[in-house]
């Protein structure tokens, strides 16, 4: 089809959701223009180079789970085999201050011994009785999944008789690490659904480390494919306004353009928002906010998703797995200096989740991360700290009942759609 005869699609937001949407629209014969506010594509899966020293900065702590089948298929379609860009692991670690590392195997099909060893061992972290209790609680929760729609993880734990030690050492790190939420606010149904998805697909129970910055190995191949198909991708292009025509009493109207901060107006036959939720909420036209569909979007809440990356002159972590820290605001960390960013020394990427720390300055968060790393990993005291970077995003707060607020991808406005919410 000649480009002039193609239907045109305008997409606001160049994160993974926006790029995946662009791929589907290109496949459907659309001429696509995608705009991104930042200097690089990728959103929360972006990475960029610090021009002062050439080191790569990531947008956060990232992992790739085996069940991400849709993303694997997308990468295959743009010519990327997942094994080329990730290093798989079949285990995850928990660390309690003053104790040895606790390793849990994830894959009973490929390594039954390691899986059983993790369940039967690690008694310094969680007692045998507590393992039985939490196992029964999860089994009961999976059987009564709809019942827990309006329960928090904290309420689920009380309902299941889970003791406070297991709650703080296991459930709090998992809630914070997987959803950026405290267990007192995270939907129990969401956590149970994640467990169910993995339990019913044991052959996919693996996590990965990316072999390079995510922009390089994940985002750039998708962007190159889109550009090879004629899509236009523009960075440094924040959206200022969503233009809406004059509606009648029988219609919600149509979008007539995406107005950018530089005054340019993107026009198309269809318009897609793949913007961060907190950005979209500020841009919804006042008239549309009266509609139940958009009112639900406005009622969604977000929570901070904060990462701290730290560089040291020597290595003091001998493993590459993701390590969950028990009883710490630094919920998970990983040394990325061997697989992701080969580096002489240690490059530690960690996630901080603690509602009491949400208003901390960058320097306060860096100081906190340093103290916690030294507390949990005493060998780090012999390493010289070199630099640190704080990266802040926001994520949807997955509270009880939130699934009733999350929107469909089609909206009441005939030519306006969403991607990634």
Domain map (residue ranges) of the chain: 3-45+213-300+402-418, 126-204, 302-396
Q: Is the pTM of this model over 0.85?
A: yes
How high is the pLDDT of residue 203? 57
- Specify whether the CB–CB gap between 405 and 259 falls below 8 A: no
**What would be the CATH architecture of the domain defined by 302-396?**
Alpha-Beta Complex (3.90)
Q: Which CATH superfamily is domain 3-45+213-300+402-418 in?
A: FAD/NAD(P)-binding domain (3.50.50.60)
DSSP for 15-30, written as a single string: BHHHHHHHHHHHHTT-
How high is the pLDDT of residue 195? 79
List all residues 6 or more positions away from 262 whose beta carbon is below 8 Å from its beta carbon.
237
How high is the pLDDT of residue 64? 64
Mean pLDDT by 10 residues, the chain (421 residues): 77 97 97 97 92 88 69 92 84 90 85 87 93 94 90 96 95 92 94 79 70 92 97 97 75 87 96 97 93 95 95 90 92 90 86 92 97 95 95 94 91 95 85
> Minimal CA–CA distance to 38: which of 53, 59, 24?
59
How high is the pLDDT of residue 250? 45
**Nearest-angstrom CA–CA distance, 419 and 414:** 15
List all residues 6 or more positions away from 112 whose beta carbon is below 8 Å from its beta carbon.
none
**Nearest-angstrom CA–CA distance, 12 and 259:** 10
């Amino acid at each position: 089809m000649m480009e002039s005869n193609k239907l045109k699609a305008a997409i606001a937001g160049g994160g993974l959701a926006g790029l995946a949407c662009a791929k589907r629209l290109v496949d459907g014969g659309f001429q696509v223009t995608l705009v991104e506010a930042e200097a690089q594509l990728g959103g929360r899966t972006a990475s960029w180079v610090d021009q002062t020293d050439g080191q790569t900065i990531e947008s956060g702590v990232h992992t790739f789970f085996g069940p991400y089948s849709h993303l694997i298929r997308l990468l295959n379609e743009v010519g990327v085999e997942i094994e080329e860009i990730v290093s798989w692991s079949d285990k995850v670690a928990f660390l309690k201050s003053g104790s040895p590392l606790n390793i849990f195997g994830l894959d009973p099909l490929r390594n039954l011994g390691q899986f059983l060893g993790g369940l039967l061992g690690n008694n310094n972290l969680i007692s045998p009785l507590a393992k039985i209790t939490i196992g029964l609680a999860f089994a009961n929760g999976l059987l009564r999944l709809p019942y827990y729609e309006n329960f928090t993880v904290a309420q689920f734990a009380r309902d299941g008789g889970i003791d406070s030690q297991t709650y703080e050492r296991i459930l709090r790190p998992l809630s914070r690490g997987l959803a950026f939420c405290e267990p007192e606010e995270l939907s129990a149904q969401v956590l149970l659904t994640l467990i169910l998805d993995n339990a019913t697909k044991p052959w996919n129970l693996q996590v990965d480390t990316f072999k390079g910055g995510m922009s390089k190995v994940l985002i750039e191949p998708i962007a190159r494919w889109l550009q090879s198909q004629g899509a236009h991708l523009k960075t440094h292009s924040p959206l200022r306004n969503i233009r809406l025509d004059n509606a009648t009493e029988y219609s919600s109207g149509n979008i007539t353009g995406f107005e950018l901060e530089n005054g340019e107006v993107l026009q198309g036959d269809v318009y897609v928002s793949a913007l961060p939720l907190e950005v979209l909420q500020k841009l919804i036209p006042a008239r549309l906010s009266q509609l139940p569909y958009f009112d639900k979007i406005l009622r969604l809440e977000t929570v901070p998703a904060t990462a701290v990356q730290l560089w040291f002159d020597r290595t003091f972590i001998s493993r590459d797995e993701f390590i969950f820290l028990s009883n710490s605001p630094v919920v998970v960390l990983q040394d990325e200096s061997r697989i992701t960013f080969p580096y002489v020394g240690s490059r530690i990427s960690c996630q901080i989740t603690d509602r009491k720390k949400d208003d901390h300055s960058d320097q306060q968060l860096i100081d906190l991360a340093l103290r916690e790393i030294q507390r949990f990993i005493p060998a780090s005291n012999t390493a010289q700290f070199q630099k640190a970077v704080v990266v802040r995003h926001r994520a949807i707060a997955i509270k009880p009942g939130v699934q009733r607020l999350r929107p469909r991808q089609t909206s009441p406005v005939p030519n306006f759609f969403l991607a990634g919410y």
